[in-house]
Amino acid sequence: MSTQRLRDEDYRDYSSTDASPEESPSEGLNNFSSSGSYMRFGESNSTTWFQTLIHLLKSNIGTGLLGLPLAVKNAGILMGPLSLLVIGLVAVHCMRILVKCAHHFCYRLNKPFVDYGDTVMYSLEASPISWLRNHAHWGRRMVDFFLIVTQLGFCCIYFVFLADNFKQVIEMANGTTNNCHNNETVILTPTMDSRLYMLTFLPFMVLLVFVRNLRALSIFSLLANITMAVSLVMIYQFTVQNIPDPSHLPLVASWKTYPLFFGTAIFAFEGIGMVLPLENKMKDPKKFSLILYVGMAIVTALYVSLGILGYLHFGANIQGSITLNLPNCWLYQSVKLLYSVGIFFTYALQFYVPAEIIIPFFVARGPEHCELVIDLSVRTVLVCLTCILAILIPRLDLVISLVGSVSSSALALIIPPLLEITTYYSEGMSPITIVKDALISILGFVGFVVGTCLTLYELIQPSSAPIFINSTSAFV
């Protein structure tokens, strides 16, 4: 999922990789302002409805999609798709709430644009509770905090994803064939631990994020989009073939694993941070609501279909990423590598968001002649931090669930309904709307607590499952 944010007047448009800044954010850090406001752009930088739709799809489709078959397993072949549909509807509704509240404050304060953090801050200032009004600035800080946690969490997941897929491709290289349908046992070539693969990728990730100009990364973004699109087509092509009898699959899984489903599902749907920047860049923002509904309908259809097909095809053997279940032939091994290449270059784009928030804080407190050194040092430390966290939690499915439960649930489910209440309560709200918003926030909070606790519990449990691999699937 790709979430570029627009900052204050010293920054240009970072809402997409196609309209990239002329300079890096660090070049304007001396004038950095923590208050921040978005700027409305002219026609030359505006996007068409189709470009906006593509950006919306791109910002929601990533590693979370590949983990949804396992999520369906954790919920059940019936409960999983139904829950995905409900979460998708609620997530889109929350996105619409955010847009509506942002419009409200733009009109009320005569501003061209406000971002997620600004909207929360202004809503607290409009609250009838004096304590909330006095601490409204914490609303922006809270949103920035969860954005940082979410984006760095994505970066951690990318380390685990790359390590798992490259490790499997290398270990199975001696048995990889051109026959994708022959069921033959493969003798693995032992290689180093997956955490050593993460350390191998570390210097390349550091060099990648040293590219501070997003315009220079635009070609890599295009490459990532192409490779991931081709990989998804190949994955769908394989999963629709030779689906076994699904009668043995449970309709509803154990309630103990459902919180893991929730974390993975809300992780996949957490594209709310991209909504306002995309609307701001449109030539005709009035069409954005329709584009939002159409785009998220496509995303939800992809999520539900791949979740169902992946679980039906691989059953109980499904892994944290469906790519790890693909056959041991060169065609599907190349799919793993293609998707991994896309994820590698996407790392820099996901990293840009926390870098944009964190780096100005440190640069503003250092000597002027050391700006570049401080900038690159902070980037290096942040990349090393994501690598260390990935090494500490090297299980892809649990990392996805943890990030989804901790931060994605806050940004996508908990905050938007409360935002609507604080924005419109003093102007009069129907009791039904208040109850609806309260229920959504409670749902998000319960998922946050239970999902986080269960994921942490699973993380401390030893994993001793044997590994079985053949030429048609690789599974735990």
Which pLDDT band, with edges at 50, 70 and 90, does 329 fall under? confident
Query: Residue 2 domain-assigned?
Result: no
Residue range 52-99, pLDDT digits in tens:
888 788 777 778 888 999 999 999 999 999 999 999 999 999 999 999
- Overall average pLDDT of the 249-253 stretch: 90
- SS3 sequence, the chain? CCCCCCCCCCCCCCCCCCCCCCCCHHHHHHHCCCCCCCCCCCHHHCECHHHHHHHHHHHHCCHHHHCHHHHHHHHCCCHHHHHHHHHHHHHHHHHHHHHHHHHHHHHHHCCCCCCHHHHHHHHHHCCCCHHHHHCCHHHHHHHHHHHHHHHHHHHHHHHHHHHHHHHHHHHCHHHCECCCCCCCECCCCCCCCHHHHHHHHHHHHHHHHCCCCHHHHHHHHHHHHHHHHHHHHHHHHHHCCCCCCHHHCCCCCCCCCHHHHHHHHHHHHCCHHHHHHHHHHECCHHHHHHHHHHHHHHHHHHHHHHHHHHHHHHHHHCCCCHHHHCCCEHHHHHHHHHHHHHHHHHHHHHHHHHHHHHHHHHHCCCCHHHHHHHHHHHHHHHHHHHHHHHHHCCCHHHHHHHHHHHHHHHHHHHHHHHHHHHHHHHHCCCHHHHHHHHHHHHHHHHHHHHHHHHHHHHHCCCCCCCCEEECCCEEC
Q: Is the pLDDT reported for residue 470 higher than 50?
A: no
* Block residue for tokens 């905090």: 145
Length reported for the chain: 476
Cα separation, 264 vs 257, in Å, equals 11
Cα separation, 470 vs 176, in Å, equals 10
Which pLDDT band, with edges at 50, 70 and 90, does 28 fall under? very low
Contacts of residue 97, Cβ cutoff 8 Å, sequence gap at least 6:
416, 417, 419, 420
* Block residue for tokens 């090297």: 394
Give me the CATH number covering residue 424.
1.20.1740.10
Which pLDDT band, with edges at 50, 70 and 90, does 418 fall under? very high
Query: Residue 308 domain-assigned?
Result: yes
Query: How does strand 468-469 pair with strand 474-475?
Result: antiparallel
Query: Residue 96 domain-assigned?
Result: yes
The terminus-to-terminus CA distance of the chain in angstroms comes to 26
Chain centre to alpha carbon of residue 266: 9
Among 53, 30, 41, 31, CA closest to 6: 41
Rounding to the nearest 10 degrees, give the CA dihedral for residues 133, 135, 140, 141.
Answer: -170
Query: Residue 26 domain-assigned?
Result: no
Residue ranges making up the domain that contains 213 = 49-181+190-459
Cα separation, 24 vs 11, in Å, equals 9
Q: Is the pLDDT reported for residue 417 higher than 90?
A: yes
Residue type at position 201: F
Query: Residue 403 domain-assigned?
Result: yes
Look at residue 10 in the predicted model and tell me its pLDDT.
37
What percent of the chain is modeled with pLDDT above 70?
A: 82
Cα separation, 3 vs 275, in Å, equals 9
Look at residue 190 in the predicted model and tell me its pLDDT.
64
Query: Residue 37 domain-assigned?
Result: no
Specify the pTM.
0.78
Average pLDDT score over the chain:
80
Residue type at position 304: V
Angle, alpha carbons 346-351-354 (nearest 5°): 150
Residue range 125-145, pLDDT digits in tens:
988 888 888 889 999 999 989
Q: Look up residue 348 and give its two tokens.
A: 């820099």
What residues does 470 pair with on adjacent strands? 185
Could you tell me the sign of the dihedral formed by the alpha carbons of 294, 295, 296, 297, in that order? positive
- Overall average pLDDT of the 396-417 stretch: 88
Q: Angle, nearest 10°, between helix axes 431-459 and 258-269?
A: 110
Residue range 352-384, pLDDT digits in tens:
778 888 998 898 888 888 888 999 999 999 999
Query: Residue 420 domain-assigned?
Result: yes
Residue type at position 434: I
Residue range 151-200, pLDDT digits in tens:
898 899 899 989 988 888 888 776 666 666 654 445 556 667 888 999 99
Residue 154 φ/ψ region, left for φ over 0, alpha for ψ in the -120 to 50 degree band, beta for the rest: alpha
Q: Is the pLDDT reported for residue 5 higher than 80?
A: no
Q: Look up residue 453 and give its two tokens.
A: 């606790």
Look at residue 472 in the predicted model and tell me its pLDDT.
38
Note whether 362 and 374 are within 8 A (CB): yes
Domain count, the chain: 1
Cα separation, 59 vs 214, in Å, equals 16
Query: Residue 13 domain-assigned?
Result: no
